[in-house]
Amino acid sequence: MSNHCLDCGTCCVTYRVSFYWGETTSHEKGIVPQELTKAISPHHVCMKGTQTKPSRCVALLGEIGHKVSCSIYEQRSSTCREFEAGTEACNKARLQHGLSMLEIS
């Protein structure tokens, strides 16, 4: 099966990517580069670029709907790791950016 995410990227320009600050490198076991995040509460951060509209995650490379990648893929947050192609949230983002819905079985 092909990786539909490499031809999409709409989630990275639609949703705020927020997560617990302990996932950042400011914490001893964190992996998300702290310098790419912005504090949004005492215990949560978001990826820079996703806190406002229009949004675009600072780690996103490429052109939406054509060829994209994540510059910190191996260090991405749990929010990104848990987001799945073909879900309602995915398809909502795809439709907002003019892409067809995915049907993943």
Domain ranges of the chain: 4-96
Sign, CA dihedral 54-98-8-22, equals: positive
User: What is d(CA 77, CA 18) in angstroms, rounded to the nearest whole number?
Assistant: 8
Radius of gyration of the chain (CA): 14
- Determine the pLDDT at residue 3: 79
pLDDT tens, per residue, the chain with 105 residues: 357 889 899 999 999 999 999 999 999 999 999 999 999 999 999 999 999 999 999 999 999 999 999 999 999 999 999 999 999 999 999 999 999 999 876
- Determine the pLDDT at residue 1: 39
- Determine the pLDDT at residue 103: 84
- Determine the pLDDT at residue 30: 96
